[in-house]
């Protein structure tokens, strides 16, 4: 388990690629459950438990759908398991890093340091998603960053719709 966490952390540091993850449906399920749990903790800070579960589940579906669509369109659907595992693992790890700033902003919305930390996590998430998609799709980093930006905007919009 520690090796898996280190591997996902190396993906987040852009040292490893999704192809370095083992092809395993069990791993994909484990990372989906972990992502669901961490996202639930994040969402539960600002909403009731039912809404938190709904938003967490939608988050896992968005990541999976984004991965599937991109890989399907590029004709590389055989990479779905590893790519989605990498996206879910990286998102889970980043959500762990986002817990303290989000908790701080829940208590004190005007905390500038927590706000800047969140901006940093969002930018890091964008770069990591671009890195994962670049390797999965074998495209340029600029193209993959554009794709990752589109995903993040859609994910934030869907989450905002669920909040209201």
pLDDT (tens digit per residue) in 3-54: 999 999 999 999 999 999 999 999 999 999 999 999 999 888 888 899 889 9
Cα three-residue angle 83-20-142, rounded to 5 degrees: 55
Residues 52-86: tens digit of each pLDDT: 899 899 999 999 999 999 999 999 999 999 999 99
pLDDT band at residue 162 using 50, 70 and 90 as cut-offs: confident
pLDDT at 111: 92
Would you state the pLDDT for residue 47?
Answer: 83
Helix (H, G, I), strand (E, B) or coil at 24: coil
Burial 96-126 (b: 16+ CB within 10 A, else e): eebeebbebbeeeeeeeebeebbeebeebbe
- Indicate left, alpha or beta for 22 from its phi (over 0: left) and psi (-120 to 50: alpha): beta
Tell me which of 161 and 23 has the higher pLDDT.
Answer: 23
By the 8 A CB rule, do 39 and 31 touch?
A: no
| Residue pLDDT, tens place only, 111-153 | 999 999 999 999 999 999 999 999 999 999 999 999 999 999 9
At 122, list the tokens.
């969002």
- Helix and strand numbers (H, E) in the chain are 6, 0
Q: Are 144 and 137 in contact (CB under 8 A)?
A: yes
- Of 162 and 132, the structure prediction assigns the larger pLDDT to 132
Task: Tell me the average pLDDT across 92-104.
Answer: 93
Q: What is the pLDDT of residue 106?
A: 87
pLDDT higher than 70, residue 164: no
pTM, to two decimals: 0.93
How many percent of the chain have pLDDT more than 70? 99
> How far from chain centre, in Å, is Cα 78?
20
Closest CA relative to residue 56, chosen from 77, 41, 36: 36
């Amino acid at each position: 388990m520690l090796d898996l966490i280190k591997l996902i952390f190396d993906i987040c540091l852009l040292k490893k690629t999704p192809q370095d993850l083992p092809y395993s449906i069990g791993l994909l399920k484990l990372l989906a459950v972990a992502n669901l749990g961490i996202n639930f903790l994040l969402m539960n800070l600002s909403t009731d438990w039912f809404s938190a579960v709904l938003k967490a589940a939608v988050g896992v579906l968005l990541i999976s759908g984004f991965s599937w669509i991109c890989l399907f369109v590029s004709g590389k659907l055989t990479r779905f398991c590893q790519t989605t595992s990498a996206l879910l693992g990286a998102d889970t790890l980043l959500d762990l890093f986002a817990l303290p700033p989000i908790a701080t902003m829940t208590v004190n919305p005007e905390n500038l340091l927590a706000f800047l930390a969140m901006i940093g996590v969002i930018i890091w998430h964008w770069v990591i998603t671009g890195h994962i998609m670049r390797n999965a799709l074998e495209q340029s980093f600029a193209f993959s960053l554009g794709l990752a930006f589109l995903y993040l905007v859609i994910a934030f919009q869907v989450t905002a719709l669920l909040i209201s």
